[in-house]
Chain A
């Protein structure tokens, strides 16, 4: 029994529950878990009736499938929920004796498991995923509950099915009956829309790969790297030989000098003419020898310089090669966007098509991953607010179906991505009035502002308030987050719009995030960096100034105060004028005073890791030529510091930050995806969260630390949830610790036991933030979900 009505959280709800990046991570974790679970199903299906009694095998397969369903729902993979649900149903029919276990059924289960695995892998590739889902439904059809009395397919037919699964199936070739069947089975055929030309690939689990975790590198690129590394070896050998030669020359020079000295001492006191002649001859010989050595030395030094230069070139080649290895084309990104757009269009009931160009544009995988969510946000905005309903479009003389064009191209060191819709555009005049009415701008400011200024005010935080959004054809939603994400990548986003014609977003991003341009400066003897994309100028500021008198004025942030460290001592007396870096971010300027400017540099960006990343001021770190760690400041955090009354919403805090720590919570679940999901949800409520993968590990942690809350799964290896709670209740220290159960199997018996153990809440998977909040804060009506 699965109540799917509350289970299928849409993408939109999920983005309320999780940050986009977090959701991507959770899905990646889910993928790994799904692989394990489906392998178990396959193994049991093979063993059933051979190594293992059928009832046990079926029970185990159902358990694993059920767990899979719970996790899939939590991360919003509703198609997997559906598929797992139907597989579970087929297994249930066997368990209840309505259908016998047969070899054909075992084969089908294995194929279905392979299929679900392929679906999970293909998730980022919508046409392929849809095709795979279609195929799985086809496999499931003969075994689904509705047909449980149908005669099992004869062996040869099933062989034919197996053969088909290795072949290509075109949608046009589906018999009409089957096509209808698929539709009635809930497969959304428009998922493969416009795909009369798209072939429907057969399920082949072996071709599945995880696009997010693996780097696919073309063999030629590895060959290039090998060749560059080989060249470096030659360079080294050549240089070593030169150094050897230099040593020999030094020795020869020393010998020449010694000979000269011997000769000098031998002739001391000698005065005769003949001797003078001999000495002159000897001196000439030594001079000739030294001249030859000098020439050789000069040649060797020149050659050495050439070879060092060659090595430098080859090293550069190697570095560029390594950067290229991290490159991927825009193709995968476009596929993801296409899927998101279809989902958004379905939700909004809009008719939109996506046209892409520049699939072969290459950029760093890290950039591609991080730019996906902002792009999806822009697409959603276009669908929800930009594209008019078909009737309105036709009245305006446009095609009934809206078009969104996504173009990618490379410009020097930048990747430019344009997203253009042909919707209603933004009415700047109306928007200007609206800013004045809402009190956001004074009349004077609104009149002074150029159209461009007005449009760019849409990227300001808070412009997403609903009335404004509606009034201005809703371009504000989440654009501040889009800009912040792009800025973090070291890029920028611009927007142009023509009323009635549409809106275009232009994103400029660095090709790679690994190396970036930065402005370096010193504060308290330590070197810090700011991304060059946000540094607009350098200046000198009077020591006491709180605002900068430069163009437009700007608040002054004293980094020597913000970046105080225990060993810091302020110079005595402080200089009257301090050097400063002028930053522009989110259309705000600010001036950061520093101790000394170092200058612009190319830096290699390193991630901060879990210990340093939570600190709000830093975006990353780099390592200097002399091996010192240098911190990269986060321009967004500095702007927040300078403009306290205009808080910029960071990506992670779309809602108010927790007022204070809520306490320490322990999350116990064998699924890492669920652990991470719960950690994220609880952390947002101000909890410090520890995790354990089963009851035993949880007990060990609870012995060490007092917990204010335990959230546990029930079915876990080594020690399950109920045993854990039993043990907690037996200890005086933990007798009253609040416990919440999150389980995929909530039965009457579960509820009764939970009540007996004074469990405070029971949440049925799939887990959503709303369910969790309702249990945690029952008295507060959840307005956040």
Chain B
């Protein structure tokens, strides 16, 4: 029984309820003034000052492969998550509850007290994905910043997770045998 119970925080995002495991969430914060970041990939919507620290604001919708959310504004709610010392704020529409809920068999969702299925979001994967997207901007834009001074050219042209090129051939083997 205990093995498939999860301590989660349930929140609304784009009209859909999601849940995130509590262990990733350091606190629920109210966003201060959000500075927009030109040239940033779509999942990285801004940065704000939290007690003197610069905290990036992420668009959870984009980063889990869904719809982009509204531009984050001062006063919006967000989950402050931390992964290997990297803090980021995941903007949410509304925080519903903190609860211990039953996980579904496939582990991709939890069942809330009224028997509804609430999909699980993995904040660590969201942050990791955001870092990868950000790195992809650097990897692909070096030449383009120089040639075309438009922000659009700085967007990653390719989805780094799914659109990556195939790995190089490994046919020859110089070290074995």
A interface list, Cβ under 8 A from B: 524, 526, 557-558, 561-567, 606-618, 621, 623, 626-631, 637, 640-641, 643-644, 647, 653, 657-658, 660-664, 683, 686, 688, 690, 704-706, 708-709, 738, 751, 754-755, 759-763, 771, 774-779
Q: Please give, as numbers and ranges, the residues of chain A lying within 8 Å of B40 by CB-CB distance.
A: 612, 615
B161 & A705 in contact (Cβ 8 Å cutoff) = yes
Q: How far is the CB of A279 from chain B (nearest CB, A)?
A: 58
Complex interface bits, B18-62 against A, C-beta within 8 A gives 1, otherwise 0: 000000000000001101111110001001110011101010000
Partner of A526, one of B36, B141, B158: B36
A611 & B49 in contact (Cβ 8 Å cutoff) = no
A564 & B38 in contact (Cβ 8 Å cutoff) = yes
Q: A641-B149, A662-B165 are in contact. Are A760 and B37 (CB under 8 A)?
A: no
Complex interface bits, B135-164 against A, C-beta within 8 A gives 1, otherwise 0: 111111111011101110010001011001
Interface size for chain B: under 10, 10 to 19, 20 to 34, or 35 or more residues? 35 or more
The 27 listed contacts between A and B (C-beta, < 8 Å) are: A558-B149, A562-B149, A566-B71, A567-B71, A606-B54, A610-B86, A611-B44, A611-B58, A612-B37, A612-B44, A615-B40, A616-B137, A616-B145, A616-B154, A617-B39, A618-B37, A628-B33, A628-B49, A657-B139, A661-B164, A664-B161, A686-B139, A688-B164, A690-B128, A759-B176, A771-B175, A779-B169
Q: Please give, as numbers and ranges, the residues of chain B lying within 8 Å of A608 by CB-CB distance.
A: 54
Please, how many angstroms separate the alpha-carbon atoms of A708 and B169 in the complex? 11
Residue among B48, B71, B122, B131 having the largest count of chain A Cβ atoms under 10 Å: B131
Q: A629-B54, A630-B35, A761-B175 are in contact. Are A615 and B149 (CB under 8 A)?
A: no
Residue of chain B at shortest CB distance from A660:
B165
Q: Which 3 A-B pairs have the closest CB atoms?
A: A644-B146, A778-B172, A708-B167
Q: A629-B35, A738-B167, A755-B177 are in contact. Are A640 and B71 (CB under 8 A)?
A: no
Q: Please give, as numbers and ranges, the residues of chain B lying within 8 Å of A647 by CB-CB distance.
A: 146
Q: How far is the CB of B129 from chain A (nearest CB, A)?
A: 9
A615 & B125 in contact (Cβ 8 Å cutoff) = no
Q: How far is the CB of A570 from chain B (nearest CB, A)?
A: 13
Q: A615-B39, A641-B145 are in contact. Are A563 and B151 (CB under 8 A)?
A: yes
The reply on B113 being an interface residue by CB < 8 A is no
Please, how many angstroms separate the alpha-carbon atoms of A558 and B147 in the complex? 13
Q: Please give, as numbers and ranges, the residues of chain A lying within 8 Å of B177 by CB-CB distance.
A: 751, 755
Q: How far is the CB of B3 from chain A (nearest CB, A)?
A: 16
A627 & B33 in contact (Cβ 8 Å cutoff) = yes
Q: How far is the CB of B43 from chain A (nearest CB, A)?
A: 10
B49 & A623 in contact (Cβ 8 Å cutoff) = yes
B interface list, Cβ under 8 A from A: 32-33, 35-40, 44, 47-49, 52-54, 56, 58, 71, 86-88, 122, 125, 127-128, 130-132, 134-143, 145-147, 149-151, 154, 158, 160-161, 164-177
Q: Please give, as numbers and ranges, the residues of chain B lying within 8 Å of A657 by CB-CB distance.
A: 139, 142-143
A704 & B125 in contact (Cβ 8 Å cutoff) = yes
Residue among B39, B122, B166 having the largest count of chain A Cβ atoms under 10 Å: B39
B168 & A629 in contact (Cβ 8 Å cutoff) = no
Residue of chain B at shortest CB distance from A638:
B145
A617 & B175 in contact (Cβ 8 Å cutoff) = no
Q: Please give, as numbers and ranges, the residues of chain B lying within 8 Å of A775 by CB-CB distance.
A: 173-175
Q: A567-B36, A660-B140 are in contact. Are A637 and B145 (CB under 8 A)?
A: yes
Please, how many angstroms separate the alpha-carbon atoms of A369 and B98 in the complex? 45
Please, how many angstroms separate the alpha-carbon atoms of A623 and B137 in the complex? 25
B166 & A609 in contact (Cβ 8 Å cutoff) = no
Q: Please give, as numbers and ranges, the residues of chain B lying within 8 Å of A778 by CB-CB distance.
A: 170-174
Q: How far is the CB of A173 from chain B (nearest CB, A)?
A: 49
Partner of B173, one of A565, A611, A761, A771: A761
Q: Please give, as numbers and ranges, the residues of chain B lying within 8 Å of A629 by CB-CB distance.
A: 33, 35, 47-49, 54
Q: Please give, as numbers and ranges, the residues of chain A lying within 8 Å of B134 by CB-CB distance.
A: 610-615
Q: How far is the CB of B168 from chain A (nearest CB, A)?
A: 6
Q: A657-B143, A775-B174 are in contact. Are A564 and B166 (CB under 8 A)?
A: no
Please, how many angstroms separate the alpha-carbon atoms of A618 and B49 in the complex? 17
Q: How far is the CB of A712 from chain B (nearest CB, A)?
A: 15
Q: A564-B38, A629-B35 are in contact. Are A660 and B158 (CB under 8 A)?
A: yes
Q: How far is the CB of B164 from chain A (nearest CB, A)?
A: 5
B164 & A664 in contact (Cβ 8 Å cutoff) = yes
B175 & A611 in contact (Cβ 8 Å cutoff) = no
* New A-B contacts (18) at CB < 8 Å, excluding given A618-B37, A627-B33, A661-B164: A526-B36, A557-B149, A562-B150, A562-B151, A563-B38, A606-B53, A611-B44, A617-B38, A623-B49, A629-B54, A641-B145, A662-B168, A663-B166, A664-B164, A686-B139, A688-B135, A688-B160, A709-B167
Please, how many angstroms separate the alpha-carbon atoms of A706 and B128 in the complex? 14
Q: Please give, as numbers and ranges, the residues of chain A lying within 8 Å of B164 by CB-CB distance.
A: 661-664, 688, 708
Please, how many angstroms separate the alpha-carbon atoms of A627 and B47 in the complex? 12
B35 & A526 in contact (Cβ 8 Å cutoff) = yes
B141 & A616 in contact (Cβ 8 Å cutoff) = yes
Please, how many angstroms separate the alpha-carbon atoms of A612 and B47 in the complex? 9
B139 & A609 in contact (Cβ 8 Å cutoff) = no
Q: How far is the CB of A569 from chain B (nearest CB, A)?
A: 13
Q: Please give, as numbers and ranges, the residues of chain B lying within 8 Å of A761 by CB-CB distance.
A: 170, 173-176
Q: How far is the CB of A589 from chain B (nearest CB, A)?
A: 17
Please, how many angstroms separate the alpha-carbon atoms of A637 and B141 in the complex? 11
A611 & B88 in contact (Cβ 8 Å cutoff) = yes
Please, how many angstroms separate the alpha-carbon atoms of A775 and B168 in the complex? 11
Q: Please give, as numbers and ranges, the residues of chain A lying within 8 Å of B171 by CB-CB distance.
A: 778-779
B173 & A661 in contact (Cβ 8 Å cutoff) = no
Please, how many angstroms separate the alpha-carbon atoms of A628 and B166 in the complex? 42
Please, how many angstroms separate the alpha-carbon atoms of A558 and B172 in the complex? 49
Please, how many angstroms separate the alpha-carbon atoms of A663 and B168 in the complex? 9
Residue of chain B at shortest CB distance from A608:
B54
Q: Please give, as numbers and ranges, the residues of chain B lying within 8 Å of A683 by CB-CB distance.
A: 135
Residue of chain B at shortest CB distance from A775:
B175
B146 & A616 in contact (Cβ 8 Å cutoff) = no
B176 & A755 in contact (Cβ 8 Å cutoff) = yes
B158 & A661 in contact (Cβ 8 Å cutoff) = yes
Residue of chain B at shortest CB distance from A639:
B146
Q: Please give, as numbers and ranges, the residues of chain B lying within 8 Å of A614 by CB-CB distance.
A: 131, 134-135, 137-138
Q: Please give, as numbers and ranges, the residues of chain B lying within 8 Å of A606 by CB-CB distance.
A: 53-54
Q: Please give, as numbers and ranges, the residues of chain B lying within 8 Å of A567 by CB-CB distance.
A: 36, 71
Residue of chain A at shortest CB distance from B129:
A705
B166 & A763 in contact (Cβ 8 Å cutoff) = no
Please, how many angstroms separate the alpha-carbon atoms of A112 and B174 in the complex? 38
Please, how many angstroms separate the alpha-carbon atoms of A563 and B176 in the complex? 51
Q: How far is the CB of B176 from chain A (nearest CB, A)?
A: 6
Q: A526-B35, A644-B147, A664-B160 are in contact. Are A623 and B52 (CB under 8 A)?
A: yes
Q: How far is the CB of B143 from chain A (nearest CB, A)?
A: 7
Residue of chain A at shortest CB distance from B170:
A760
Residue of chain B at shortest CB distance from A611:
B56
Q: How far is the CB of A552 from chain B (nearest CB, A)?
A: 21
Residue among A564, A774, A776 having the largest count of chain B Cβ atoms under 10 Å: A564
Partner of B176, one of A558, A663, A704, A751: A751
